[in-house]
Structure 1
Amino acid sequence: MQLTQIRNATLLVDYAGKTLLIDPLLAGRGAYPGFAGTANSHLANPLVDLPVPLATLLDVDAVVVTHLHLDHWDETARRVLPRGLPVFAQNGADADAIRADGFTDVRPLAADGDTPFDGIRIARTGGQHGSDAVMAAIGARMGEVSGIVLRHPDEPTLYIAGDTVWNAHVAAALETYDPDVVVLNCGDAQVPGLGAIIMDLDDVGRVARAAPRASIVASHLEAVNHCVLSRADLRAWLDGQGLRARVSVPEDGEARTFQRVRELRPA
């Protein structure tokens, strides 16, 4: 498996002979206003350019959209991605919205069990886009979010947690699937007065303790206005915690390669 950090939560995953595009944010730098009511909302999103040509991100076998927030499924993605690409959505409502954009092969992920794709098993996992206090205050805005798990006999088990904080959903996914590789959206996106709406440093530590054999990849950093954790600060914290060897912090455009080291666990 090769995992390439593109920008924000956008990833390219080469897995079992297929290339999957995860949560595409494809617009040029500064195309959208900052997210109102969040940290640094005066900054225009995305904060940085794509690290690869746009055409590279269109030549894929399928797209996975964990939820429909602009920084995971943006107007440019909706406009430029080939209409016939398989697009996996977290639920029927999101699938209907993606179909309304003209996509013809939209597949909701099964609520329980696996959704197959050419020998790859895709499982949907739960998440919560902020603490209980965040959800009580702005839960309608945060909406429903999901993660995914990819499994194949010849590949490491990959868990992409999505836009969630540490909670029972994440703990259950780690216990159920025992992933070899975990991708965390851990840019500490902040809503002033309410706190983080994705993982922060403490949450990274919680995941590392709960999955002591997994390799962890840090994503969703330095690309949208409300993410306040820098890669430099994350790396310094990892050094202090003795986690630098286990937690990779790729720059945009950098790839990491992983091999299966454990037997595929049934789930």
Structure 2
Amino acid sequence: MNLFRLKTVSFLTAGILLTSCSFAKKDSTTKKSDISITQVRNATLQIRYSGKRLLIDPMLAKKGSYPGFPGTANSHLRNPLVDLPIPADDVIDVDAIIVTHLHLDHWDDEAQRLIPKEKPIFVQNQEDEKALEAQGFKNVTPLTDKVVWEGITISKTQGTHGTKETVKKFPILGAVSGFVLSHPDEKKIYLAGDTVWNEEVKKALDLHRPEIIILNAGAAVVVGEPPIIMDQNDVVSVVKHAPYATVIATHMEAINHCILTRKQLREYLETKKVSSNVKIPMDGENLNL
């Protein structure tokens, strides 16, 4: 090969390498998901989603502040069973709040006291909106279907706080809902809320096909009744119905009537060979998804 042809080949090779590097650099700047979920305590979560910080179901009281729920398992214990893993002021340092329903372990007196009254709050219906407005909150949005906030679509889903028979016996269980977060550049997140596995949850999964599913999985028990939130069998049912998703188990080891422990759930999932689909974070643990 003469000198001219050698130089030509070298220039061509260099051009190819430079072009490849340019493509590689462009790919490396492609937008990536910045989703993170921090398990605070019980059903209280902080979610970073599309650059915004959301707080879910704030229960902020100190350990032992409230009596156990009467008529439930271990009602002699005082709630919450454990302290917050991070200061309450850091927990509420968010852009908006989602309250799935108004039971004490999802929206307590301390949350009402500490959260700024102008903070955007999303609730399941107008009844909950009126209740929060009566507490002095000024920026409450009830959902009938969905709303768009800061580019994030928040959709309402249905659930049942126990079997239908249990809910009929105990009207105090009341209406509960779940919520789906979606954005064109992010994975969908489904917050199932205080529900058991049923047709309403199946419908939500089939409609939204969320990549991340958050389940209240402490198997809370009213004495003499089946669990009123998901237990280990319900978690397995969700995983089998949506094997494409990452499932996060929350609402555990913090309230008197939640009888399923993290250890018990983990061991059960291992026997069913679905443990790789499920994350069971400790209080204070952060998950990057």
- TM-score w.r.t. length of structure 2: 0.87
| Structure 2 match to 1:106 | 140
Letter of the structure 1 residue corresponding to residue 66 of structure 2: Y
| RMSD (CA atoms) | 0.7
How far residue 155 of structure 1 moved from its aligned partner, in angstroms, is 1.1
| Structure 1 match to 2:45 | 11
Check if 1:125 corresponds to 2:157.
Answer: yes
Match of 1:92 among 116, 126, 134: 126
| Structure 2 match to 1:189 | 220
Letter of the structure 1 residue corresponding to residue 110 of structure 2: T
Greater CA drift, 34-43 or 126-135: 126-135
| Structure 2 match to 1:39 | 73
Deviations 1:146-191 (A, max 9, x none): 0000001111100000000011110000000000000000100011
How far residue 136 of structure 1 moved from its aligned partner, in angstroms, is 2.1
User: After TM superposition, where is structure 1 displaced by more than 2 Å over at least 4 residues in a row?
Assistant: none
Deviations 1:88-112 (A, max 9, x none): 0100000110011111100111x22
Counterpart CA distance in 2 for 1:102 and 1:183 is 30
Match of 1:146 among 158, 174, 177: 177
Match of 1:80 among 114, 120, 124: 114
Task: State the identity as a percent.
Answer: 51
Q: What are the within-5 Å matches in structure 2 for residues 1-267 of structure 1?
A: 1-109=35-143, 111-112=144-145, 114-138=146-170, 140-258=171-289
Are the equivalent residues in 2 in contact too, given 1:133–1:194 (CA < 8 A)? no
SS of equivalent residue, structure 2 residue 181 = strand
Counterpart CA distance in 1 for 2:199 and 2:209 is 15
Are the equivalent residues in 2 in contact too, given 1:183–1:217 (CA < 8 A)? yes
Counterpart CA distance in 2 for 1:27 and 1:38 is 20
Which structure is larger by alpha-carbon Rg, 1 or 2?
2
Counterpart CA distance in 2 for 1:244 and 1:252 is 19
SS of equivalent residue, structure 2 residue 84 = coil
**Structure 2 runs not aligned, ≥5 long:** 1-34
Counterpart CA distance in 2 for 1:133 and 1:210 is 24
Counterpart CA distance in 1 for 2:174 and 2:131 is 14
| Structure 1 match to 2:15 | none
Counterpart CA distance in 2 for 1:196 and 1:91 is 25
Counterpart CA distance in 1 for 2:136 and 2:167 is 32
SS of equivalent residue, structure 2 residue 122 = strand
Are the equivalent residues in 2 in contact too, given 1:122–1:149 (CA < 8 A)? yes
Counterpart CA distance in 2 for 1:59 and 1:82 is 10
Letter of the structure 1 residue corresponding to residue 254 of structure 2: A
Letter of the structure 2 residue corresponding to residue 25 of structure 1: M
Counterpart CA distance in 2 for 1:64 and 1:97 is 15
SS of equivalent residue, structure 1 residue 195 = coil
Counterpart CA distance in 1 for 2:185 and 2:162 is 35
Counterpart CA distance in 2 for 1:103 and 1:191 is 32
How far residue 77 of structure 1 moved from its aligned partner, in angstroms, is 0.3
SS of equivalent residue, structure 1 residue 190 = coil
Are the equivalent residues in 2 in contact too, given 1:26–1:50 (CA < 8 A)? yes
Counterpart CA distance in 2 for 1:82 and 1:219 is 26
Letter of the structure 2 residue corresponding to residue 255 of structure 1: N
- TM-score w.r.t. length of structure 1: 0.94
